[in-house]
Amino acid sequence: MPQGPLTKNTDALALGLAQVRVGASAANISTFDPVLTSTNSIGALANTKFTSEKEYWKHEAGFPLLEDKTLPLRESAMLECTFEEFNPFNMALAMGLDPVTDSISETLSGEILLGALVAPSYMRMEAVYTFPDGTSTATIVFPRAQVVSTSEVDFQPEDNVKVPVTFEAKRADSDVTDGDAAWDLAPLGHIVFATA
């Protein structure tokens, strides 16, 4: 008889990368479900990584001190990816600009200005992971995200560039400007699992 951590559902095994899609935050802020399509994809990726960080405060009492209570202090969520298609759209995204609202080209035409620092734009980011069965998906939705990463384009003699980008989820609930009540119970976004 097999022992140890046996697979309960082989359909739940994840293999491969998510497709990262970006769109306008303000135009889609009231939509709770995934709304972006494959036409909103930023293209080929070298990796995708979702992280949800939580920090806690712990109370101790007695002698010797023993923990008796833990309370949450803060939570953050981010999606890191590395794009392979080096074009004005993706570079604007990497620089914290909103290439969707600013209509920046996905072709090899245009320019990216350097040294004109502004706060990173808000955009909607959806990372759609399709399970190997081809019909089940897990979609990470950040309704109001900002790109905060160092833009690094490492040209190699025998490999394509891989430019890292980090999307950070920001509050999207009704208590912030440009937020919406749709996100009051999930201010940073959510992960939607679905089977077609």
Residue 38 phi/psi, 5° resolution?
A: -65, -20
What total of structural domains would you count in the chain?
1
What whole-number percentage of the chain has pLDDT above 70?
A: 100
In which domain, by residue range, is 191 found?
16-55+71-195
In degrees and rounded to multiples of 5, residue 56 shows phi and psi of -125, 150
Per-residue model confidence as pLDDT tens digits over 61-91 = 999 999 999 999 999 999 999 999 999 999 9
In a domain, 3, yes or no: no
**Residue 32 and residue 34: Cα distance in Å, rounded?**
7
Residue 8 falls inside a structural domain: no
Is residue 187 included in any domain, yes or no? yes
Among 128, 131, 144, residue whose Cα is nearest residue 21: 128
Domain assignment of residue 109, yes or no: yes
Burial status of residue 65 (CB atoms within 10 A of its CB: 0-12, 13-18, 19 or more)? exposed
- Tell me: pLDDT of 116 over 90: no
Taking only the tens place, the pLDDT of each residue in 4-42 is 999 999 999 999 999 999 999 999 999 999 999 999 999
Structural domain includes residue 6: no
The pTM assigned to this predicted structure is 0.93
Please choose, from the candidates 133, 37, 117, 126, the residue with its C-alpha nearest in 3D space to the C-alpha of residue 81.
126
Question: How far from the centroid of its chain's Cα atoms is residue 153's Cα?
Answer: 20
Q: CATH code at 32? A: 2.30.110
Query: Count of alpha carbons within 13 Å of 33, Cβ hemisphere only?
Result: 4
The reported pLDDT for the residue numbered 131 is: 96
Q: Which two structure tokens, joined as six digits, stand for 12? A: 């739940």
Kindly state whether residue 9 falls inside one of the protein's structural domains: no
Residue 134 lies in a domain: yes
State the pLDDT confidence band at 195, using cuts at 50, 70 and 90: very high
The pLDDT score that the predictor gives to residue 26 is 96
